[in-house]
Amino acid sequence: MEDRALVHGVVQSINVSAGGLPKHPVPEADVTPDGLVGDQHADTEHHGGPDRAVCIYSLERIEALRAEGHTLAPGHVGENLTVSGIDWEAIRPGVRLAVGDVLLEVTRFTTPCHKIEASFADGRSDRISHKLHPGWSRVYARVLEPGVVRVGDLAIVLPSRLD
């Protein structure tokens, strides 16, 4: 992790569940190539696995969506890490994030599913679809270096491997 950092934010919430939503906050988590220890997925066809090990979202996006009348809070849309202070529009596949002891690489934008519809005033979870609203999607990441992440840890945006 010797690359020059582009920008940094802070981990505001770490969220896990035994399956289902919302995910509940914990103060810290061990992160393995399979994701956060203690986090399970009911639908392993669409969630989890090495390229979808960690789901990340922006606290600023959650707050903006709440201002629109939606009932989101950290963990409500299935994200494992809720971060603040990052230019969310710059987060895209290939970008790497150093979070606590963990190094992550964003693999894709997350497609909204029907299970998060209850968090949206009109039931339209596509409000956070990258295809319809670029810069508003959650992202999935793979774990390049496992370790521990804690609330309050820096989330440092690093150049992608291609930069």
Mean pLDDT (the chain, rounded): 91
Tell me the HSE value of 87 on the side-chain side, using a 13 A CA sphere: 7
pLDDT tens digits, one per residue of 101-127: 999 999 999 999 888 999 999 999 999
How large is the average pLDDT for residues 10-26? 95
**Res 3 pLDDT > 50:** no
pLDDT in the model for residue 20:
85
54, β-bridge pairs:
141
| Distance of alpha carbon 122 from alpha carbon 140, whole angstroms | 25
The contacts of residue 18 (CB under 8 Å, 6+ apart) are 38, 40
Cα separation, 32 vs 124, whole angstroms: 32
Sorted by where each starts, the structural domains of the chain and their CATH numbers stand as 7-158 (2.40.33.20)
On the question of pLDDT at 1 being above 70, the answer is no
| pLDDT for 49 | 75
